[in-house]
Structure 1
């Protein structure tokens, strides 16, 4: 989700001025899920993960999620720290698509394109808490949002549920589903979580070792769109993480779009169904994480736009490469590329997107 540094800072301000309001302040709370010394804090504003606290092999606890300290700061955050984005995560070229012969225009909020659902995407709305169990062996919270017909330009009503649950000693499960109520619509939900296994604000993640189950990727243009529609092999390129490789080993050889340097790359994940997408290990802290999911693709983003102007928790300044995102998803801009697997949901159909983060040390 990169953009030029000055543009990123400006967008943070512009988006924040359009978000929030009385409804948000009156109906938003913070919720904690806790199992032993493993805890997850989140809010129903944007179904946002605010923190994940996990130990290392010596029992030292750290919050490994980049973010903010207060709800007001999340209301004013345009940098997508930890929310569930939609109706369509990633980009829609020129904010336009054709579905069943009709042209739809979505809100343009990323240069000439739509990103993460538009100005008022799912990350900038209040979700309803349907169930909440804070403790016990498997604490969880289930959130609901009804996206209305025409919201940000998307057709039809859409009912969305998201359940966050601690399913193991150090495992966070995220299960989302969406039902098209009355009209066909594109759907591509995306969890935009920034991680730093050394602890948020502890420096860059270039030394983290990454392995991806991806032998192919979709080349993106300077606007981070798959304009060519190609799927290419990673072999022999700087995009190859099939063997554990430091994130920083080739990071300066790849373009993050709009003049930025770093990964903002969509990978096609090998296999089908629920499977291991990625494993990341940090030697310095002795923490690792595996990510499992059931989607066809994943965007790797290395925080290229964090440029020492974005303040995070405790007043820390997040510098470039200060966190990484593993954004499981459908193919970007699939609604404009019939050669890609479809992300269109028909009335009565249910979209299911499951993720599982397994932390280890």
Structure 2
């Protein structure tokens, strides 16, 4: 199988002012293609920038929100398509205690840490380890070394992610991380914003139906920090065990606040059904009746954060598109939020010499 050149150059980014050529890394966009199914990834934040496949009439469309330029990803605050970590979601009061030692993190969400801090894995340049653009299994593998003390987290950590197109219209994502010298929490999440009608369609996702294979969720306080409880969804607006239009429930649930005003929409972690919380199993099915597109998600994590783009407002996106509230939805498979401070939640601690962190996702698209 022929291997294409590793870089499609867009820009050079220096880690520090005045850095030598050895201190620079090239940021590029890499396309994976299998017939009329294509995915683009950049090594800035290990970010998915587009996913293109047909609708029911055979028209190709990009179903991922994003930007036209790398500079916009660098400056953006919505985590479009990024791989977030070292610890995705929120850590209460930006602190935790591990093996008797207190660690203080970078607080970037009020008093809490969100998605790894101010400069988490979504805001760094990853190294391209392998890139195969076409053939039977187009794929790209990216690597990042997170240093001891980065954003307050302990220990050196080697992190890899592979994006691969396998069978027709299937995108596989494989993440793993190895602690080199200290125990550390690790919880990676893939933060793509999906709109199956097309990112430039001008339509929101309120007409999409969502089915989540989860009978329980983790309730949160007013700052979206879990209370530590595991509550049944039965009898609540969070019950999405049967296909439900997003718009039928989105204004029945609280999605936090903005400038002192309540924001409505889903932004909550669900406990995925299944006795083995680390086995690959079906997480969600999303359908858009207007386009005929559907997406089925499988993963091997205990939780999934369902978010309905509550805080999107007049965001300038690709091709002149403008993204508004509920313009997309996210399904971020993950360990439970704030697990490092919640002894009743599944542990996300990775230790040197023991099993590495592993996180697999499978997206199956149809039309």
Q: TM-score with structure 2 length normalisation?
A: 0.91
Matched, 1:343 2:315: no
After superposition, give the CA deviation of every residue in 1:94-132 in whole Å (9 maximum; x if it has no partner). Answer: 100000000000100011100000011000111010100
Q: Deviations over 1:183-239 (max 9, x none)?
A: 00000000000000000032110110111100000001111100x210000001000
For residues 246-305 of structure 1, give each alpha carbon's deviation from its aligned partner in whole angstroms, at most 9, with x where no partner exists: 011111010001221000011000013100100001000000000000000000000000
| Conserved 8 A contact 1:189-1:329 | yes
* Aligned equivalent of 1:301: 307
Counterpart mapping for 1:207-246 below 5 A: 207-226=207-226, 228-246=227-245
- Deviations 1:28-76 (Å, cap 9, x if unpaired)? 0110000000000010000000000010122110000000011111111
Aligned twin of 2:272: 269
- Within 5 A, what are the aligned runs for 1:164-313? 164-202=163-201, 203-226=203-226, 228-258=227-257, 259-271=262-274, 272=276, 273-308=279-314, 310-313=315-318
Cα distance change, pair 212–320 in 1 and its aligned pair in 2 (3 A): same
Contact persistence 1:265–1:301 (CA under 8 A):
yes
Q: Partners in 2 of 1:111 and 1:302 — Cα distance?
A: 21
Question: Does the residue aligned with 2:345 lie in a helix, a strand or coil?
Answer: coil
Cα contact 2:183–2:352 (8 A) shared by 1: yes
| CA-based RMSD | 1.2
Q: Comparing both structures, which one devotes a greater share of its residues to helix?
A: 1
Moved over 2 A (4+): 20-26
Partner of 1:142: 141
Paired positions, count: 340
Equivalent runs, 1:65-144 vs 2, <5 Å: 65-144=64-143
How far apart, in 2, do the equivalents of 1:69 and 1:246 lie?
30
Question: 2-side partners of 1:169 and 1:161: how far apart?
Answer: 24
Determine whether 1:327 maps to 2:332. Answer: yes
Cα distance between partner residues in 2 of 1:268 and 1:97: 22
Q: Which runs of 5+ in 1 are unaligned?
A: 1-19
Report the equivalent of 1:13: none
Q: Alignment partner for residue 315 of structure 1, among 320, 327, 336?
A: 320
Which of 359, 362, 365 is matched with 1:359 structurally? 365
Rounded to whole Å, the distance in 2 between the matches of 1:59 and 1:285 is: 10
Contact 2:255/2:264 (8 A) holds in 1:
yes
* Deviation (angstroms), 1:26: 4.7
Rounded Cα–Cα distance in structure 2 between residues aligned with 1:330 and 1:274: 14
CA contact (8 A) 1:206 1:248 kept: yes
CA displacement at 1:313 relative to structure 2: 0.7
> Counterparts of 1:86 and 1:61 in 2: how far apart (Å)?
32
Q: Which residue of 2 aligns with 1:39?
A: 38
Contact residue 201 and residue 322 of structure 1 kept, 8 A? no
Matches of 1:311 and 1:193, distance apart in 2: 16
CA distance in 2, matches of 1:94, 1:315: 38
1:77, distance to aligned residue in structure 2 (A):
1.2
- For residues 353 and 73 of structure 2, the distance between their equivalents in structure 1, rounded to whole angstroms, comes to 33
Partner Cα separation in structure 1 for residue 149 and residue 15 of structure 2: 20
- Secondary structure at the residue paired with 2:155? coil
Report the 3-state secondary structure (helix = DSSP H, G, I; strand = E; otherwise coil) of the residue aligned with 1:174. Answer: strand
- What is the TM-score normalised by the length of structure 1? 0.93
* Equivalent pair of 1:68/1:313 in contact (CA under 8 Å): yes
Contact 2:25–2:125 under 8 Å retained in 1: no
